[in-house]
Amino acid sequence: MHEQLRQDAKGAILFDATVSPQVDSTWFDADHWRRQAALSAQSGGRGGVAIIDTPAGECVLRHYRRGGMVARLMGDRYLWLGADRTRSFQEFRLLQAMAKQQLPVPQVVAAQYRRAGLYYQADLITRRIADAHTLAESLIQGRLDAELAREVGALVARFHRAGVWHADLNAHNVLIAPTGLYLVDFDRGRMRALARSWRMANLQRLRRSLFKLGAAAQGEAPFDQAIWTPLMDGYEETLGA
């Protein structure tokens, strides 16, 4: 990776010049890609995610938005604390660090912030993982079985063993592709000293997300036997490997 920084009066772009040396502010504008018929999908919601066809290949453009009650007041604005503490630059560099450890994450392309007074807005571009679907989709379609659960547990263990804390570990952020399983969306994620407390809390967050999607519709005991026990078996085996 060859990291480069491009600055102007309103903000800055951090990008990987080995992926594309031509990144500029238009890359972070969904309308720019729409006008070129290069935007294949866009969703609203908290993430503001768009699929764009760029000179660097098919990518995911994500605009950072707040969630919860604070979103009503702040929307997509964040308090300015310096370039290195922007959501986009922090996630860019975390993805870089994880890629160096050969963890299965999307390839990072570019990050941007645009500053206005005390606040800033931010965006991130990553390479799209081809032919992928989420763990949530697998569950809804009845394809989450003990074998897949074990693979998910092993996936999470790889990140935990490397000291990676995912701030929002849920079934929507686990991707299943022909090339394997991936974790995505590392906004607010960080490297931490290995400790059982945060590892178990992370896993419980994933468990709650499965419950919300109806994984325990037949009861908690059948869910534990069919899904959660295999998942934890895969987790513990990989963590101790």
CB within 8 Å of 19: residues ≥ 6 apart: 56, 107, 109, 127
pLDDT digit string, tens, across residues 193-210: 999 999 999 999 999 999
Largest CA distance in the chain: 58
Angle 5-51-23 from CA coordinates, rounded to 5°:
20
Q: What is the torsion angle, in degrees rounded to the nearest 10, for the CA atoms of residue 216, residue 218, residue 219 and residue 220?
A: -40
For the chain, report the end-to-end CA distance as a whole number of angstroms.
29
Q: Which of 24, 29, 76, 168 is catalytic?
A: 168
pLDDT of residue 45: 47
pLDDT digit string, tens, across residues 27-62: 999 999 999 999 987 765 455 789 999 999 999 999
Question: Model pTM?
Answer: 0.93
pLDDT of residue 76: 92
Q: What's the mean pLDDT in 108-124?
A: 97
pLDDT of residue 189: 97
pLDDT digit string, tens, across residues 62-113: 999 987 666 566 789 999 999 999 999 999 999 999 999 999 999 999 999 9
109, 101 contact by CB (below 8 A): no
Q: Which residues pair with 15 in a beta bridge?
A: 4, 110
Is residue 168 flagged as an active site residue? yes
pLDDT of residue 75: 82
Return the number of other C-beta atoms located less than 10 Å from residue 207's C-beta. 21
Provide the 3-class DSSP secondary structure of residue 198.
Answer: helix
